[in-house]
Amino acid sequence: MRRTFKRLDATHEKLIATVEPLPAHLFSQRPSETEWSVSEILQHLRLVEDRVIQELEKALAASPQRLGLLRRLIPTSIVGSRLIKVKAPRSVTPIAAPEKEKSLAEYNQTRSQLKSLCATHGRERLGLTVFKHPFLGRITGIAAVSFLGYHEQRHLKQINEVLRQLT
């Protein structure tokens, strides 16, 4: 878990360092009608992380479960690639993204909640928790946390693409 959190923290810090200095107009500007703004990407990341936290809390309230070996070997790192386009489920599609300060505060608060949840339950219990991911299928709670890190990396790349288009 330590390595997973190191990657989570490093990516989170890079993302914050990229978006925090942006002027409000760049933060909320879409490069095109069909592409998300930085603000919308950040809201999407928060919505996904909120959803993972909610689903993990439900799963942690249930009896521990062990996934089969093949299911435990699903590489969550594939999520970090931008080569495969995936349409976000409606429940995590950004709508009316908040202003920059509120967006960053909510994003950081959600990460704090995730870290608190993981610290409370620990690696062993998360390993015996089944999370149902819409694309990866049934994965462990540890894999769900790992997914968040790679998902954040994916969208950091997207933010950089958006900024290159806008500047």
- What is the rounded CA–CA span in Å between residue 44 and residue 157? 14
What CA–CA distance (Å, rounded) separates 10 from 85?
Answer: 24
**Cβ atoms within 10 Å, residue 144:** 23
* Nearest of 87, 80, 98 to residue 10 by alpha carbon: 80
The arrangement of secondary structure in 2-166, i.e. its CATH architecture, is Up-down Bundle (1.20)
The H helix count followed by the E strand count for the chain is: 6, 2
The DSSP annotation for 1-65 comes to: -HHHHHHHHHHHHHHHHHHTTS-HHHHH--SSTTS--HHHHHHHHHHHHHHHHHHHHHHHHSPP-
> Domain residues of the chain, as ranges?
2-166
Each residue's pLDDT, cut to its tens digit, for the chain (167 residues) gives 788 889 889 999 999 999 999 999 999 999 999 999 999 999 999 999 999 999 999 999 988 877 665 555 555 666 666 666 777 778 888 888 889 999 999 999 999 999 999 999 999 999 899 888 877 788 889 989 999 999 999 999 999 999 999 98
User: Distance between CA 77 and CA 59 in Å, rounded?
Assistant: 22
Q: Does an H or E element contain 133, and which?
A: strand 130-133
Calpha distance 150→167 (Å, rounded)? 26
For residues 64 and 58, give the distance between their C-alpha atoms in angstroms, rounded to a whole number.
Answer: 12
Could you tell me the pTM of the whole model? 0.88
* Burial label, 153 (beta-carbon count in 10 A; 0-12, 13-18, 19+): buried
